[in-house]
Amino acid sequence: MTHINPHVFPVSDNNFPVLPGRPITPERDGELLDAYSQAVSQAVEAVGPSVVNIEVFHASDASRGGGAGGSRGSGFLFTPDGFLLTNSHVVKDGVKIKVTTADGRHFPAMLIGDDPHTDLAVLRIDASGVPAAVFGDSSRLKVGQVAIAIGSPLGFYATVTAGVVSALARSFRSGSGRLIDGVIQTDAALNPGNSGGPLVNSAGQVIGVNTAVILPAQGICFAISANLAQFVASQLMRCGRVKRSYIGVAARNILLPRRLVQFYKLPHDTGLAVQAVEPGGPADRAGILPGDIILGLDRKDINGIDDLHRLLTEDMIGKHTAVKLIRQHDLAYLLITPDAAQVDNPPG
């Protein structure tokens, strides 16, 4: 049996140790609860009016006489003239989108643009002077701080759940196959219908866009960071899509032969094996062939397809740079100029 030294930690009448400092009394416990409750309530009051419910109708819904929409989700207004953010997977293949605001008004919504690679989409409703949520700086988040999710899970409008930021800088694969970096993990409960709603800090600022939950696990939920969401939203509002570059290859990750790694003193033992090259594309013009193993681009190492995706940003469009590769056991460098990716371009 463990004995507690009363001179180190005083023991209460119930034989539980009392930590040094201000005693935990019923009154003090109430104060702590009130402080937490007030923080959550104030954050909800600040952001709640900007949260919307989204109902999406698909072409197949016509056969059901225009009944319930094929998918439902959440979103939030971020400008006073009706622009709102949600998830790409919420509005995918929708032919008609209806938005219900927090005050019960219904609006048809126009899809401004969507980006499946980050699972984000921007819609607009014909409304002015609507309450707009304020973004926070997600780069300043700390593990353990309060995180509040607002949305319409399973059709229950304006549902609030609260938890903490469980982890930062997670990676999550989007439906398109690209890896989304800087994802926020939280234990604020999410359910189908929460997708696209805001994740909010105690100051009432949007720190993320709720996007996924891992089932059957409990308390493992993910949100796209607010900083990435703002960047994507600005691109979608300006161009209708996010500008990226591409080199025109189909490739897969491989493990390099150990002797090659040792002979060339490579910093990693994986590479990107080219399986096909798009005729007339940047890789074809550069002389890249099926069977080549790409190791680097623009003086940066490539361990696999995710590294290539990270490097192929808008800044690389039209930039003359070197691609490092192995061809038939020989190390080589070729000059390549990535093109602007189109909607139907291959992922590499």
Top-confidence residue, 6 or 200? 200
Identify the band that residue 33 occupies on the pLDDT scale cut at 50, 70 and 90: low
Q: Where are the alpha helices (DSSP H) in the chain?
A: 26-47, 88-91, 226-239, 258-263, 282-286, 305-311
- Rounded Cα distance between 55 and 190, Å, is 18
Active site residue 63: no
Between 64-73, 261-270, 302-311, 330-339, the lowest mean confidence (pLDDT) is in 64-73
- Rounded Cα distance between 58 and 119, Å, is 19
The residue among 220, 242, 264 that closes a domain is 242
Average pLDDT, the chain: 87
Residues 99 and 161 in one domain: yes
Predicted confidence (pLDDT) at residue 67 exceeds the cutoff of 70: no
DSSP string for residues in 50-92: GEEEEEEE-GGGGGGTS-S-SEEEEEEE-STTSEEEE-HHHHT
- Rounded Cα distance between 343 and 117, Å, is 11
Identified catalytic residue from 50, 195, 225, 245: 195
Identified catalytic residue from 50, 71, 88, 119: 119
Residue 347 lies in a domain: no
Nearest residue to 271 (alpha-carbon basis) of 244, 246, 307? 307
Residues 152 and 97 in one domain: yes
Residues 116 and 46 in one domain: yes
Pairing verdict, β 120-125 and 221-225: unpaired
CATH number for 151: 2.40.10.120
139: left (phi over 0), alpha (psi -120 to 50) or beta: alpha
Mapping DSSP to helix (H, G, I), strand (E, B) and coil, where does residue 47 land?
Answer: helix
The DSSP symbol for 21 reads S
Q: By the 8 A CB rule, do 72 and 54 touch?
A: yes
Residue 345 lies in a domain: no
The predicted pLDDT at position 47 comes to: 96
The residue among 242, 268, 296 that closes a domain is 242
Output the CA angle 170-175-181, nearest 5 degrees.
25
Token digits for 230? Answer: 């703002």
CATH number for 297: 2.30.42.10
- Rounded Cα distance between 184 and 226, Å, is 9
Domain count, the chain: 2
Nearest residue to 86 (alpha-carbon basis) of 178, 6, 193? 193
- Rounded Cα distance between 243 and 313, Å, is 7
Output the CA angle 161-173-235, nearest 5 degrees.
85
Residues 274 and 210 in one domain: no
Residues 252 and 328 in one domain: yes
Active site residue 74: no
Residues 236 and 259 in one domain: no
The residue among 212, 242, 272 that closes a domain is 242
Residues 37 and 18 in one domain: yes
- Rounded Cα distance between 237 and 84, Å, is 10
194: left (phi over 0), alpha (psi -120 to 50) or beta: alpha
Residues 161 and 260 in one domain: no
Residues 238 and 250 in one domain: no
Residues 227 and 269 in one domain: no
Residues 76 and 164 in one domain: yes
Domain limits at 273? Answer: 245-340
Residue 348 lies in a domain: no
Residue 92 dihedral angles phi and psi, to the nearest 5°: -55, 130
Residue 64 lies in a domain: no
Top-confidence residue, 81 or 173? 81
Identify the band that residue 7 occupies on the pLDDT scale cut at 50, 70 and 90: very low
Span 160-189, pLDDT tens digits: 999 999 999 898 888 888 888 889 999 999
Top-confidence residue, 323 or 217? 323
Identified catalytic residue from 88, 89, 225, 307: 89
What global pTM score does this model have? 0.80
Residue 53 lies in a domain: yes
The predicted pLDDT at position 28 comes to: 60
99-131 burial code (b ≥16 CB/10 A, e <16): bebbeeeebebebbbbbbbbbbbbbbbeeeebb
Predicted confidence (pLDDT) at residue 301 exceeds the cutoff of 90: yes
- Rounded Cα distance between 9 and 102, Å, is 51
Residues 320 and 201 in one domain: no
Active site residue 89: yes
- Rounded Cα distance between 124 and 82, Å, is 5
Q: By the 8 A CB rule, do 205 and 134 touch?
A: yes
